[in-house]
Amino acid sequence: MPSEFELIRKYFERAPREIRPGDRRTRRVALGIGDDAALLRPSAGMELAVSTDLLLEGTHFRAGADARKLGHKALAVNLSDMAAMGAAPRWATLALALPAANEAWLAGFAGGFFALADRFGVELIGGDTTRATPQGAEPGAIVICITILGEVPRSLALFRAGAQPGDDIWVSGELGGAALALTQPGNAAMEKRLEEPEPRVELGERLRGLASAAIDVSDGFAQDLGHILERSGAGAVVEYASLPRPAEVKNIADENLQAGLVLCGGDDYELVFAAPQARRGELAALSAELKLPLSRVGAIQGADARLQVLDGQGKPMRVGHGFDHFAP
Ligand code: ADP
Ligand code: MG
């Protein structure tokens, strides 16, 4: 059986020749995998954005889930956090606890991880690898923990705080597809949204100086917009009918089920953001340029409005809760 070090070298430490001469990444990393720490070269005038996400087998993904898709998703959820901050993703570390040294799994995982990392110029600069199964114990669960580092020009990062009464509320892409796949498997397009989400990295970077607040939808639209409202000391009115949803969700006859998916379904990794009304034209142009639908779904209000979602008749709807790991 290969040692921990052989596995790291084989699957995660990429030979220098794989990074082409002149590749901009070579200048951002002074020292990568293989020493006691990596050395980074942040650009002048930039702030570093740092975020960590942990995925646990059985909680965040099913036992036996496809390793390549997991490699994609584990990085995608971290890239989504960079997008929500308006940061350009640059470097990542990867900590893995594995029940056994399964090389087919490692090859698949690394394939999905690097395919996505290469699209956004992210370099894996280190990590940790350990066996999740102590001597003589039952096999432990897979744990995948990625820390991502990105750069954002000083004072241009997007926060959850900052939304102002009168601002429009916008959503990228569509909501509810990932949650539909989770509750009713079988539709390939919706399963792709759940298993291989597309982080809105370009959008996040372009929203610098344009959005007044932003967040990514990991736990459900209502809950994640709620974080913006709480941090901004604001309320909001949202028109349910204007929330973008895929045909597969739109066609669900049970209206409560449909509303639950759109308002409370997690895992879509779209961006929800606020922007002044005066920026509508720029956002329409940005949507066309990125070929990414941006929908205006409501307005920020004073704090006493809380979060109101209005149905087609203008009547307030009852909104459930998004996902909460510690909910009773
Ligand atoms: P240490 O004993 O200092 O923790 P390790 O032997 O665990 O170092 O790791 C050796 C090198 O391999 C380090 O540069 C570390 O960052 C890197 N590394 C370990 N596991 C991974 C991984 N899963 N992905 C990327 N790099 C890794
Ligand atoms: Mg170590």
> Which whole number is the average pLDDT over 126-142?
90
pLDDT confidence tier of residue 17, bands split at 50, 70 and 90: very low
pLDDT of 23 above 70 = no
> Which whole number is the average pLDDT over 286-299?
98
> Which whole number is the average pLDDT over 28-37?
88
Q: Whose CA is nearest to atom 6 of ligand 1?
A: 5
DSSP helix, strand, coil percent of the chain (3-state; round to 5)? 35, 25, 40
Q: What percent of the chain has pLDDT over 70?
A: 94
Q: Residues 60, 182: contact at Cβ < 8 Å?
A: no
Residue 76 C-alpha to ligand 2 middle, in angstroms?
A: 24
Q: Which residue has the tokens 């959820």?
A: 77
The CB density around residue 278, as the number of other CB atoms within 10 Å, is 10
pLDDT of 80 above 80 = yes
Better pLDDT: 13 or 244? 244
Report the residue among 6, 8, 11, 96 best suited for mutation to probe ligand 1: largest number of ligand atoms under 8 A from its CB: 8
Ligand 1 is surrounded, with C-beta below 6 A, by 8, 12, 33-36, 94, 96, 124, 126-129
Ligand nearest to the CA of 96: 1
Nearest to 221 by CA among 293, 182, 273, 149: 273
pLDDT of 328 above 60 = no
Domains of the chain: 4-153 (3.30.1330.10), 168-310 (3.90.650.10)
Which DSSP symbol is given to 57? B
